Structure 1
Amino acid sequence: MRLILTTSRGIEDLASAEVSALLDRLGVLFRVEEKPLGVEGRVLAEVEKAHYTDEKGRMRELSVSTYLNERSRLLHRVIIEIASERFEGINDDEPEKALKRIESFVSSLPVERFVKASESFAVRSFRKGEHKITSVDIAKTVGKVIFERLERFGTPKVNLDHPAVIFRAELIGDVFFLGIDTTGDSSLHKRPWRVYDHPAHLKASIANALIKLAKPDGSFIDPFCGSGTIPIELALRGYTGEIIGLEKFRKHLRGAEMNALSAGVLDRIEFVLGDATRLSEYVSEVDFAVSNLPYGLKIGRKSAIPKLYMGFFNELAKVLQRRGVFITTEKRAIERAIEENGFEIRHHRLIGHGGLMVHTYVIE
């Protein structure tokens, strides 16, 4: 089985490591590849069949896709690959030619193997890059081909709202993927515990990536915790150290508490109303600090960011004992604040979030 796994750009290595660790527990042969066919935000997993023993001692096949959907914290979707192809020059093709190439490719695929006669289906599409066709064009073309193919074996059932089987067609640059989306219409990064939305909340998958980079094993604080994504995800990982969420605005702090209650981890997190630029007033020392710093929508005036960052990192220098991980678009402001307050950058990477590539720093 070949699985196309989606995640945020820039954390493919972390997602790959997580998937490898999960599959290793199954004791099966597997191979994991980052950025298959050069596509960012994608991981390929080739996995042999896995089995488990039920309560009656019978050997049964384990659904690897379900296993990953239930256990991964870094993935967005788990897609069973039907086929993939590189269409050289499709970016420049006129719409009719581009769609004809996709139609010809899909028509050769045994899609009937993935839909039972009693099951309904729908096509969900995704497109990224400079093309003269839209994702709607792709969905219509692929849906038509699949319907015609299934007609050879009976009467196909289309259900656009609640399909039993979701075909996912993706065109990213010149690479086309077709598969069965086992995750459903709601991405895994949209956690069911979220009952309060901060206007610029961090994706849960990225929160877990920051936690992975921090490797915490002591006291932990998110000094700009917003709606609580990072401390909540840390608590859900079974973290046993002290977890603090500091937030300046009461509305967001109450929202964070609501989310933590929904997630069942309110008793594991100490939420504090306070200003991160006065951090030493709330904690005398802390081992790890991880946060999505204010930028863009999170702050009214962009001109205020350098002063805010300088004030925060000045306070952080008084209390941080081991490591910090921070994400922001404001490269110049954060690097100056890091340097002038005596920290060293141990790692830097760009991560895709909200349509932007944002800077991520690991400091000590």
Structure 2
Amino acid sequence: MKLLLTTVPGLEFIVKEEMSEAYGHLDIHFNVLTGRVFAEVKEPIARVLALRSVENIRFILEEDRTLEGAIERSLDEVRDLSKGLRTFAVHAERVTKEVGFTSLDLAREAGRILLEKLGLRVQLDAPDIVFYVEYDRGVYRFGVDITPFSTLRDRPYRKALHKSALNPIIAYAMCRLAGPARRILDPFCGSGTIVLEYLSLYPEAEGLCGDVETETALKASENAKTEGLAHIYVQDVLKPALRKGLEVDAIITNPPFGIREKAVGRLRRVYEALFMMAEELLSSKGKLVMITPRRELVQAKSLYLEREIVINEGGLASWIYVFGRG
């Protein structure tokens, strides 16, 4: 079966890695910065639902140069899938914009065809099945939306959220890039997303979670009760509250960048303090993994750049940097 997996644009390679770990060798292809990964899976898709790098899953039944053709070619499977069901809805997406119709127009036309072919009733609020249709560069794809009412990005531990909480998929990708470690630190932890994602990936690790705001640290503490135990404390990165001689194997963080919130202290000073902290605390093979849209503030001195990845979320370009010891 052909699956369309969506993710944060720029992190398609993480989805490929995670899919390969779950299923072994697969036929997987994607274009970078589209947020869309296609995979051919022969086994049941239950394991896909456990992936932490995926946002939504669509089961693609057929594709064709016309919408009618894509639906017509998949009717036998559609009838099997909808057997015993009464209502349906259509989720549509116009991936490329060179045509004169909207996603809503596409959904309406697909709904009309399905209504005629299947005899099911349209129900937008709580349908029994949600079909998926998209238009992409002259091709119509038709299938079933596997995650129509929620996204795999939602995490059970996210009960108390910081106003600029990091997308857990991005946090998860950063944790994978950091790799296994005995002890990690996020000095700008917000509601704890990065540390809690890390503990879900490497449950034996020790997580240190600091933030300058007491209220924010309390939110991280509330979330940590669900996912795992982390050491949460209040600190100003300009005046670290860590014991002398402490060593960490990775610093994974999303420092402030002045769009949704202002840093306590000027941004440049805050970034300089972050790199100074990394130089002082990282073990001999330690890594600093950080994300920011403010490239001009990234100035590592004694650390060397291992990897730089551009992502795009909500129209905002950001860069994930992986630094190692020089």
TM-score, normalised to structure 2, is: 0.88
2:92 aligns with 125
- Give runs of aligned pairs for residues 1-364 of structure 1, distance below 5 A: 1-24=1-24, 31-35=26-30, 40-48=34-42, 50=43, 64-69=44-49, 71-85=50-64, 101-103=66-68, 105-110=70-75, 111-131=78-98, 132-150=100-118, 155-172=119-136, 175-261=139-225, 263-265=226-228, 268-279=229-240, 281-282=242-243, 284-300=246-262, 304-321=266-283, 322-334=286-298, 336=299, 338=300, 341-364=301-324
Deviation at residue 104 of structure 1 after TM alignment:
5.5
Residue identity in the other structure for 1:43? V
Q: Aligned to 2:239, what secondary structure does the other structure show?
A: helix
Instruction: Specify every segment of 5 or more residues in structure 1 that has no aligned partner in the other structure, as ranges.
Output: 25-29, 51-63, 88-100
**Preserved CA contact (<8 Å) 2:12 2:33:** no
1:13–1:186: structure 2 CA closer, same or farther, 3 Å change rule?
same
- On the 8 A contact 1:107/1:145 being kept in 2, the answer is no
Structure 1 residues 119 and 193, CA gap change in structure 2 (3 angstroms)? farther
Question: 2:203 and 2:278 mapped to 1: Cα distance?
Answer: 22
The answer to whether the 8 Å contact 2:255/2:292 transfers is yes
CA 1:173–1:223: 2 relative to 1, 3 Å? farther
Q: 1:136 to 1:76 in 2, by over 3 A?
A: same
- Quickly say closer, same or farther: Cα 1:271–1:32, change in 2 above 3 A: farther
Q: Identity of aligned pairs, percent? A: 27
Contact 1:213–1:325, Cα closer than 8 Å, also in 2: yes
* Gap regions ≥5 residues in structure 2: none
Counting matched residue pairs gives: 318
Structure 2: distance between partners of 1:40 and 1:104: 25
CA distance in 2, matches of 1:288, 1:180: 40
Alpha-carbon RMSD: 2.4
Conserved? CA contact 1:2–1:47, under 8 Å: yes
One-letter identity of the residue aligned with 1:116 = K
CA distance in 2, matches of 1:316, 1:239: 23
Q: Deviations over 1:64-90 (max 9, x none)?
A: 223311x211111222111235x6xxx
Distance 2:84 2:174 in 1: 44
Secondary structure, in 3 states, of the residue corresponding to 1:344?
A: strand
Shift of 1:297: 3.2
Instruction: Report if the CA contact (8 A) 1:248-1:273 is conserved.
Output: yes
1:91-139 deviations in Å (ceiling 9; x for gaps): xxxxxxxxxx545544554243431143421111233443543222222
Amino acid at match of 1:192: P
Going from structure 1 to structure 2, the CA distance change for 1:353 and 1:278 (only over 3 Å counts) comes to farther
User: Which amino acid is the alignment partner of residue 84 of structure 1?
Assistant: E
Counterpart CA distance in 2 for 1:126 and 1:141 is 12
Q: Is the 8 A contact 1:293 1:328 kept in 2?
A: yes
Q: Is the 8 A contact 1:351 1:359 kept in 2?
A: yes
Residues 204 and 230, structure 1, Cα contact 8 Å, conserved in 2: yes
Q: Is the 8 A contact 2:210 2:232 kept in 1?
A: yes
Cα separation, partners in 2 of 1:174 and 1:303, compared to 1, 3 Å? farther
**Aligned residue in 2 for 1:97:** none
Structure 1 Cα separation of the partners of residues 166 and 138 of structure 2:
30
1:138 partner SS: helix
Classify 1:290/1:264 alpha carbon distance in 2 versus 1 (closer, same or farther; 3 Å): closer
| Richer in helix (by share) | 1
TM, length-normalised to structure 1: 0.80
